[in-house]
DNA sequence: TGAATATGAAACAAGTATAGTTACATTTTA
DNA sequence: TAAAATGTAACTATACTTGTTTCATATTCA
């Protein structure tokens, strides 16, 4: 029922690219921040490249940069780039078509599940990478509490 | 991670119980409609029992009935009874805490992911089992198209 | 009392997806 | 040409789901 952690890692990668926008980052340096293997990062970068969210260059001094401004990338863009499957799957094997219930339930569920998923994606679509980075920086410097 | 179809099967089970409310159904008869093994059904019924959505009786002439009226059971109730995990998981292993990005991303993501999940569950909470059954019955008898 | 019917639970196999790792061919730059 | 980087394949370990068999337990009824 759950998605993979690719989505969370992808947001992490893109936030890192945005906060280091002056240089191209290698999969190794990104992996050091995410705390995983560079190949795991490259696999996700492959999806982000295919979606046109980043641009990668080969060779010495190569690496990855954002392909768009951070305020023009939504979390829903990142979600679609990294996850394939429906969040709420139907039956593993088709129900009994000789039963009225078995015949009719899947179209009804499919429609409801699509609405539920759309509501989730709407929240993601309303949040840009730029906002995420801003919230992360606010997290880093918590507001000072006034002494009483 | 693989996705679970427990939620879809659970809705199927409960819709079947509602449309056969005059009798208790055995796991075998339910399995015949879902097109799977009775033990698979009993595993899901165990979760629905624990959540108080159905009531099961042992022995000859035993079986399962709805524990509440269908209009008092929402899809969100069923969702919570059958699925455990968050829909949008964070990193598999904790990011590097020596990196500003690694330190700050998880609380930000966690909050956003909670909002996204809440939006999805709100859609499910607005749909009752009774409505699902009604839509299934409408599916079974499609409206007649007026001849031109 | 005993047979029949049902659940609950344990154990196991098979399939699938993810995460991590190693290895290597390819590309680019200095 | 050497160094540094990517892309990709292959392999392992882990975990979850689905399906299956088996059996103890509970209940009903003849």
d(CA B23, CA B38): 18
Instruction: Using a CB–CB cutoff of 8 Å, tell me whether B130 touches chain A.
Output: no
DSSP B72: G
Mean pLDDT of chain B: 94
Question: Is residue B82, in this structure, part of any structural domain at all?
Answer: yes
* Phi, psi angle pair for B112, to nearest 5°: -65, -45
- Tell me: the pLDDT tens digits for A84-122? 878 999 998 999 999 999 999 999 999 999 999 999 999
CATH code, A107: 1.10.10.10
Mean of the pLDDT values across residues B26-48?
Answer: 97
- Give the mean model confidence (pLDDT) for residues A123-128: 98
* Any domain includes A23: yes
pLDDT-derived band at A147, boundaries 50, 70, 90: low
> What ranges in chain B are assigned the alpha helix state H?
6-19, 27-34, 38-50, 75-82, 100-125, 129-140
Residue A63 in any domain: the answer is: yes
pLDDT at A127: 98
Query: Is residue A50 within 8 angstroms of chain B, CB to CB?
Result: no
Specify burial of residue A20 (Cβ count, 10 A radius: 0-12, 13-18, 19+): middle
| Containing structural domain, residue A107 | 6-140
Whether the per-residue pLDDT at A146 is higher than 90: the answer is no
pLDDT in tens, B52-87: 999 999 988 899 999 999 999 999 999 999 998 889
Is residue B147 situated within a structural domain?
no
Give the model's pLDDT for residue A148: 63
Chain D: positions less than 7 Å from a protein CB are: 2-10, 15-22, 25-29
Kindly list the residues from chain B whose CB atom is less than 8 angstroms away from the CB atom of residue A92. Answer: 5, 36
Of B6, B35, B109, Cβ closest to residue A8: B109
Q: How far apart are CA A75 and CA A124, in angstroms?
A: 5
HSE-up of B39 (CA within 13 Å, CB side)? 0
The integer distance in angstroms from the CA atom of A104 to the C1' atom of C20 is 43
- Report pLDDT digits (tens) over A24-71: 999 999 999 999 999 999 999 999 999 999 999 998 889 999 999 999
> Is position A19 within any domain?
yes
Sign of CA dihedral B83, B88, B94, B100: negative
Residue B8 has pLDDT above 80, yes or no: yes
**CA–C1' span, A62 to C12, in Å?**
50
Between CA B133 and CA B21 the distance in angstroms is 12
Tell me which residues from 22 to 61 on chain A have a beta carbon below 7 angstroms from nucleic acid strand C.
36-37, 39-40, 57-61
The residue of A4, A25, A29, A33 whose CB has the most chain B CBs within 10 angstroms, and thus the best one to mutate to test that interface, is A33
- Check CB contact under 8 Å for B5 and A99: no
Residue A109 lies in a domain: yes
Chain A with chain B: Cβ pairs closer than 8 A: 179
Name which of B4, B3, B19, B6 is nearest B129 in CA terms: B19
CA distances from A4 to A1, A74, B120 (A): 10, 18, 17
Residue B4 CA and nucleotide C5 C1' are separated, in Å, by: 31
Instruction: Assess if residue A146 is contained within a domain.
Output: no
Model confidence at B141, pLDDT cuts 50, 70, 90, reads confident
In a domain, residue A74? The reply is yes
Residue B122 backbone dihedrals phi, psi, to 5 degrees: -65, -40
Domain count across chain A: 1
């Amino acid at each position: 029922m759950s998605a993979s952690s690719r989505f969370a890692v992808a947001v992490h990668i893109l936030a890192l690219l945005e906060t280091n926008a002056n240089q191209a980052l290698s999969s190794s340096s990104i992996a050091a921040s995410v705390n995983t293997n560079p190949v795991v990062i490259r696999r996700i970068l492959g999806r982000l490249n295919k979606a046109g969210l980043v641009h990668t260059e080969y060779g010495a001094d190569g690496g990855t940069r954002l392909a768009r401004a951070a305020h023009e990338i939504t979390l829903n863009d990142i979600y679609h780039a990294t996850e394939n499957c429906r969040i709420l799957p139907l039956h593993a094997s088709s129900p009994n078509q000789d039963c009225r219930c078995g015949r009719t339930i899947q179209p009804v569920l499919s429609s409801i599940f699509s609405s539920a998923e759309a509501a989730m994606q709407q929240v993601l679509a309303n949040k840009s990478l730029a906002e995420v980075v801003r919230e992360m920086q606010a997290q880093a410097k918590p507001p000072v509490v006034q002494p009483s």
